[in-house]
Structure 1
Amino acid sequence: MRYIPSLLFFLFLCFIIVMADINHKLHIMRVFEGVPFGDKVGHFMLFGFLAGLINVALKFRRLKIRSLDINMAGVIVLSFAVAEEFTQLAFATRTFELADMLSDVLGVWSFVFLSEWMWRRITKESR
């Protein structure tokens, strides 16, 4: 049951990506075009929110590799985000941008941190 919100949001994000790939701009995409750095804000929010939802669904699971302690949701979402950005090279209507990937990284990091902070606060108050 806890996976449903992250799965639904992932499907929504995939829908947005497909619409962008076929150059069919949704109304929300047109709104962000008029906002300075709207594309970057969109990347930050969409991939960040997905990471936060997955982080909660995975119960904040960590991945230990030698001395590194890495958030599992962050790894999953960033892998997807980087792969999605590289697929844009195959579409004449899309543009590959390192700035988009940076926005993805910052969004994922921010929302993972925020979801963990909120969870600690909620569980601390409920005791």
Structure 2
Amino acid sequence: MRLKRWLPFSLFFLFVASIIVGSNVGRLTSITSLVDSLPFGDKWGHLVLIGLLTFLLNHALSGRKMKIGRLKILLGGTIVAVAITVEEISQIWMPLRSFDLIDLSANYLGITLAGLPWWNRNAVVDR
């Protein structure tokens, strides 16, 4: 039943990817105008979209963790963090986009919040 775990992530990943590509080529101006008209709409969008993407990937991976030294971190959160960091930094070189450290921070907050269901003290730090 792996499909049950991977299908929601895969579909949502395609949705998020289409938003990124659409923004890169300037096809989402009406949607971005609407989002930007809301107080902190862009930041909430980053937090919710990336948080949900991370949650779904963590679920698909059954909360799998990787070890860095004594610290165990969620593999799904790590994958999303690396991907969105590269994506946000790449905006420096895109004429229709702009790098924003606050967007990146909202992404990281979403990743962190999405990992909470899999977090417990004994699973995160070896003693």
Same fold (TM over 0.5): yes
Q: Which amino acid aligns with 1:45?
A: V
**Between the two proteins, what is the percent identity of the paired residues?**
37
Hey, what does 1:55 align to over in structure 2?
58
Are residues 1:82 and 2:82 paired? no
1:22-72 Cα distance to aligned partner (Å, 9 max, x none): 111165433211111111111101110000000110000010122111111
2:69 aligns with 66
Residue range with higher mean Cα deviation, 21-30 or 36-45: 21-30
Q: Is 1:20 equivalent to 2:19 in the alignment?
A: no
Query: Aligned partners of 1:29 and 1:68: how far apart in 2?
Result: 38
Pairing 1:1-127 to 2, within 5 Å after superposition:
1=3, 2-25=5-28, 27-113=30-116, 115-116=117-118
SS at match of 1:39: helix
In the alignment, what sits opposite 1:122?
none
Structure 1 residues 26 and 49, CA, compared in 2 at 3 Å: closer, same or farther? farther
TM-score by length of 2: 0.85
Number of residue pairs aligned between Structure 1 and Structure 2: 116
- Superposed CA RMSD in Å reads 1.4
Deviations 1:93-123 (A, max 9, x none): 111011111000000111121x437xxxxxx
Secondary structure (helix, strand or coil) at the match of 1:3 reads helix
**Distance across 1 between alignment mates of 2:49 and 2:41:** 12
Unmatched runs of 5 consecutive residues or more in structure 2: 120-127
Q: Which moved more, 1:19-28 or 1:32-41?
A: 19-28
Report the TM-score, using the length of structure 1 for normalisation.
0.85
Distance 1:5 1:60 in 2: 15
Unaligned runs of at least 5 residues, structure 1: 118-127
